Amino acid sequence: MPGAAVEPTVATPEPDANQAEVSAPLIPTTREQRYIDVDFSSALIDELLTTANIPIWDSNRPSVLVWMALQDETGNRSLMTADINNDIIELIQEFADRRGLPVLFPVLDFEDRRSLNEDLVWTLNEEAIRKASNRYGADSILTGRLHFTASGELVGLWQFLFQDEADVFDGFSTDLREYLHGPLARVTSQLASYFAIVPESATREMVQLRVDGVGSLQEYSSLLSYVSGLGLVESVSPAQLDGERLELRLGLVGDAQQLFELIALDRDLLPIEGVASDASDVLHYRWTR
């Protein structure tokens, strides 16, 4: 029609059969992450272990101080340190966390190095190792030497000091984790067999515990909570209170010697007046918490 505006037409190209079809980008979907929080009743677990007559190892466990001397394929020796041998320390800590074993590492400051060098550790010099370890107050000492051979083998020797005994045994592997976890499993089993209690076969005994330094209601409550939490203590009853001295009657799943050694793992109760490890009728301590 004359004078009428002509609408432009836009040509739509025919689709090319060889051209890949482009689809709109997918919008990522967010998935809800769910977790399960599980709490275990230690009392019920202990009851199940008791029913099954399985030895129970109290959560108050002996500490292990670890010294190591390392030798490379050229014969150079050095003490294990956190800044250089962090892989070894992490593997030891990995085992300790999994098995609930308290491990300590020497700080290797001037005092340590003056008392104990890599050659003394390498030869497993018991006297020097015990002397250098005194400052840490550990309940046991594990000393190892490790030689990295040119062929990739790990060869060494271990010494475990617990109380007055020294246990020496070989170490060999081609895997570092296996080389370290083997002796750790060995000493853990040794400590567990010493401190763990089989409830059905354990003797029952009543012990009088005398504690000085209980000067407030809070200290009284803390002491009762501590004593009640000791694994072999079955019952606690106050027997006498005289000023800052408290006497308790303890019913044990075990004997007085085991109680003495269990308390010695902590620093909350310190023996006084020449309390002997063979345990007389009264165990006498001072509350230090």
Q: What are the structural domains of the chain?
A: 64-195 (3.30.160.100), 204-287 (3.30.70)
Mean pLDDT, residues 76-88 taken together: 94
What pLDDT does 265 receive?
86
Task: Identify the band that residue 267 occupies on the pLDDT scale cut at 50, 70 and 90.
Answer: confident
CA 178 vs CA 27, 146, 172, 181: distances in Å: 47, 13, 9, 5
Model confidence pLDDT, tens digit, residues 157-206: 999 999 899 999 999 999 999 999 999 999 999 998 888 877 666 678 88
DSSP for residue 83: T
Model confidence at 27: pLDDT above 70: no
- How far apart, in whole angstroms, are the C-alpha atoms of residue 161 and residue 117? 18
Q: Is 233 exposed, middle or buried (0-12, 13-18, 19+ CB in 10 A)?
A: buried
Question: What φ, ψ does residue 190 adopt, rounded to 5°?
Answer: -65, -45
154 has pLDDT over 80: yes
**DSSP secondary-structure letter at 92?**
H
* Residue range 214-229: mean pLDDT, rounded: 90
Q: Is the pLDDT of residue 278 over 50?
A: no
Tokens of 28: 């990522």
pLDDT at 11: 47
The answer on pLDDT for 270 being more than 80 is yes
Closest to 198 in 3D by CA, of 54, 47, 46, 57: 54
Banded model confidence at residue 10, pLDDT cuts 50, 70, 90: very low
Which residues is 166 bridged to in the sheet?
161
Question: Mean pLDDT across the stretch 114-122?
Answer: 96
- Sign of the four-CA dihedral 221, 227, 231, 235: negative
Q: What is the pLDDT of residue 69?
A: 97
What is the rounded distance in angstroms from the CA atom of residue 281 to the CA atom of residue 13? 105
pLDDT at 171: 94
Q: Is the pLDDT of residue 8 over 60?
A: no
Question: For the whole prediction, is pTM greater than 0.75?
Answer: no
Asked if 247 and 224 touch (Cβ cutoff 8 Å), the reply is no
Task: Give pLDDT, residue 203.
Answer: 72
Long-range contacts of 239-246 (CB under 8 A, 24+ apart): 239/208, 244/212, 244/213, 244/214, 244/215, 245/210, 245/211, 245/212, 245/214, 246/210, 246/211, 246/214, 246/220
**253, 234 Cβ separation under 8 angstroms:** yes
Q: What is the pLDDT of residue 29?
A: 63
Mean pLDDT of 214-226: 90
Residue given tokens 């099954």 in the structure block: 52
Contacts of 192 (CB under 8 A, 6+ apart): 55, 57
Confidence of residue 276 (pLDDT cuts 50, 70, 90): very low
Q: How far apart are CA 109 and CA 64, in angstroms?
A: 19
Residue 28: per-residue pLDDT: 58
pLDDT of residue 133: 97
